[in-house]
Structure 1
Amino acid sequence: MKVLLVNGSPHKAGCTNRALQEAAGTLNQEGIETEIFWIGNKPIGGCIGCRKCSEIGKCVFDDIVNQIRDKVYEADGFIFGTPVHYGAASGNITAFMDRLFYSELCGNYNRGFYMKPAAAVISARRAGTTAAFDQMNKYFTIQEMPVVSSRYWNMVHGALPEQVEEDKEGLYTMRVLGRNMAYLLKCQEAAKNAGVKLPEKEDAVFTNFVR
């Protein structure tokens, strides 16, 4: 089993990465393989709603969003991390998530994310964490992904990684998240081995509010 942890910070070795490392270390202790994937610090364009992904099975803009796709298919669970920028997730991770999740749902019929456990991790110097946390969780619930919780909301505080080290409760929260993620993955594996099938799927229904 493998969990893919996505670092949505422009700083590869910053506070967000430190939080993800704590969760990854706990997952490793629980026998779960991990990989931390950094989306980089080059600008990522947003979704333009062209819907070409429904025809070609991936985003029409061939950048970091498509480069992670194979890793998404191979992973059994996900943790997406972001710093807080102006009370919300970073611009790059927002554009990245918009295009990855939309093209996966629209183009590949949700084969990469469906029923795979997911969680968001937020880092901030001071405030905006809960707003960014709510924003990130919406990606998971629209893709039928079980959302993994921790003892508290998944956040760490600090302007530098060494300051995150002083956030003992934040790091504790990351470890609890790692253990809870591992438990759910093992439960899913046990269910699969016992012959428990995934939920029955039915055709989606789309209703506009304007008739």
Structure 2
Amino acid sequence: MKVIAINGSPHKSGNTAAALTRVTQRIEKEGIETKLVQVGHWPLRGCMACGACKKIGRCALGDDAFHGLMDEMAAADGLLFGAPVYYASIASGMKAFMDRAFYSTGARFRHKVGGSVAVLRRSGGIATFNQLNNYLSISEMFIAPSQYWTIAHGAAPGEVLEDGEGLEIMDALGANMAYLIKLIELGRGKIEEPPVLKKTRTNFIR
């Protein structure tokens, strides 16, 4: 069993990384392997809505590193996403990554356990937390809960480790992710998964 954690911050060792590490440490205590990958510094452009991924099975803009990470994520049991808050929203690099990852590969994430973490100085945490979870929800992932919204505060690098309540929230998220992953593993082959339903696309133009 394995969890891939995605650091959407441009800073490798900043507060987002620290918060994600706190979650992964708790997951590892339950005997589940984790891997932390930083993508916030990648020179990613946003999704072009070209639709090529539906034909070739992968993002047409992706390089070997991007495609390799998509394969790792598709093979994992859980996916954890962390984003810093910029202007009360997901940082642009992480937004580009999420758009492309989920549009091109989201169908392969179905029924994986997911978790989201927003890291900020002061405001915009709930908006960013909800934005991250939108990707998980539409992909039919199982979103792990915590004892509060999974948001941690800090400005200077390392300050998030002084957010005592935030650290407890990260611990609870890690424990719940591990618990859900184990439940799914126990039921694999014993409980039939619901089928993928056909999606009907509509708009409001009459």
Q: Decide: shared fold, TM above 0.5.
A: yes
Matching of residue 35 in structure 1 with residue 35 in structure 2? yes
Do 1:65 and 1:96's aligned partners in 2 also have CA atoms closer than 8 Å? no
Q: Mapping of 1:24-173 within 5 angstroms?
A: 24-63=24-63, 64-105=65-106, 110=107, 112-173=108-169
Deviation at 1:40, TM superposition (A): 4.2
Deviation at 1:160, TM superposition (A): 2.4
Deviation at 1:90, TM superposition (A): 0.5
Matching of residue 203 in structure 1 with residue 204 in structure 2? no
Counterpart in the other structure of 1:179: 175
Over 3 Å off, 4+ runs? none
Counterpart in the other structure of 1:18: 18
Cα separation, 2, equivalents of 1:40 and 1:98: 13
Q: Mapping of 1:1-16 within 5 angstroms?
A: 1-16=1-16
Cα separation, 2, equivalents of 1:35 and 1:45: 24
Structure 2 unaligned residues grouped into runs of 5+: none
Cα separation, 1, equivalents of 2:20 and 2:154: 14
Root-mean-square deviation over aligned CA pairs: 1.2
AA partner of residue 149 (structure 2): W
Deviation at 1:201, TM superposition (A): 2.4
- TM-score w.r.t. the length of structure 2 is 0.96
Segment drifting more, 115-124 vs 64-73: 64-73
Cα separation, 2, equivalents of 1:95 and 1:135: 13
Q: Secondary structure of 2:177's partner?
A: helix
Cα separation, 1, equivalents of 2:54 and 2:192: 27
Cα separation, 1, equivalents of 2:4 and 2:62: 21
Q: CA-to-partner distance for each residue in 1:104-124, whole Å, 9 max, x for gaps?
A: 24xxxx1x2011011110100
Cα separation, 1, equivalents of 2:36 and 2:154: 20
Cα separation, 1, equivalents of 2:40 and 2:147: 30
Cα separation, 2, equivalents of 1:147 and 1:65: 24
Q: CA-to-partner distance for each residue in 1:80-134, whole Å, 9 max, x for gaps?
A: 00000000011000010001101124xxxx1x20110111101001111011011
Q: How many residues align?
A: 205
Do 2:40 and 2:94's aligned partners in 1 also have CA atoms closer than 8 Å? no
- TM-score w.r.t. the length of structure 1 is 0.93
Q: CA-to-partner distance for each residue in 1:5-38, whole Å, 9 max, x for gaps?
A: 0000000110000001000100000111000011
